[in-house]
Structure 1
């Protein structure tokens, strides 16, 4: 049996987050999705639970640990990623307040769809970059 990589847990969380995002996107792809607003809210509830735990682990454990790594390349990357992506948690919470919790998702469906596409694009970009850059480097050099 092979040993899991150092980033296995983070990659698994990314996969779970991506699955929830895909489920919400599938609902939004239908021409008249507004009657399914409760399903969307439920999806965001699940996404929020997963995302908050994941971001807390990255922001409070992973990146600070990498910022103290022996390898300068790892330290620089950790600092760069924390700076570039540190605001995603606040942006996500602001999005939820504006669109999901306010009920505006059904009163401005076009605005909600556009905002959601932007949010999901940023989230997918972060997941892709972490999977291909951060986690790959961590797996090759270790913690």
Structure 2
């Protein structure tokens, strides 16, 4: 049985960054632009690390599992590639306080779209995918 506690802890950390971005945005995007940019940068390094560990260890290990789980793992990995690309674009665009301050509504729209996708994906992994892996 695979221990996924580390992945779950990283998920919780990512979610807390998302919540902090929401709090900062509610206080005023232009006003909190420096803190928001710092939060985006911190979250990005956490997400990059999490994804690389999943790609290097979790998914390859699951390819050796039973065919149903291997297929599900492949599906999750392929979906994540798209979400990861969207998030990468978001983090490159919004890691700059001046840009955030100059385009607060553009930042808000991007954050709502990208972070909602990320949040939903983490929820699905926690609720559906990880329990399936642990049951295998």
**Which residue pairs with 1:74 in the alignment?**
69
Tell me the C-alpha RMSD between the 2 structures. 1.6
1:21-72 C-alpha deviation (Å, 9 max, x unpaired): 1011111123x33121111111112111211110111122111211221x11
The counterpart of 2:49, out of the listed 50, 53, 66, is 53
Residues 11 and 121 of structure 1, relative CA distance in 2, 3 Å threshold: same
* Bigger mean CA deviation after superposition, 90-99 or 78-87: 90-99
Normalised TM-score (structure 1): 0.86
* Higher relative contact order (Cα pairs below 8 Å, separated by 6+ residues): 2
Residue 102 (structure 1) shift: 7.7
Count of matched residue pairs = 135
Unaligned residue ranges in structure 2 (runs of 5+): none
Match of 1:28 among 25, 28, 35: 25
TM-score (norm 2): 0.91
Give the one of 62, 65, 83 matched to 2:78. Answer: 83
Structure 1: give runs of 5+ residues left out of the alignment. none
In the other structure, the counterpart of 2:12 is 15
Runs of 4+ in 1 over 3 A off after TM superposition: none
Superposition map of 1:123-134 within 5 A: 123-134=118-129
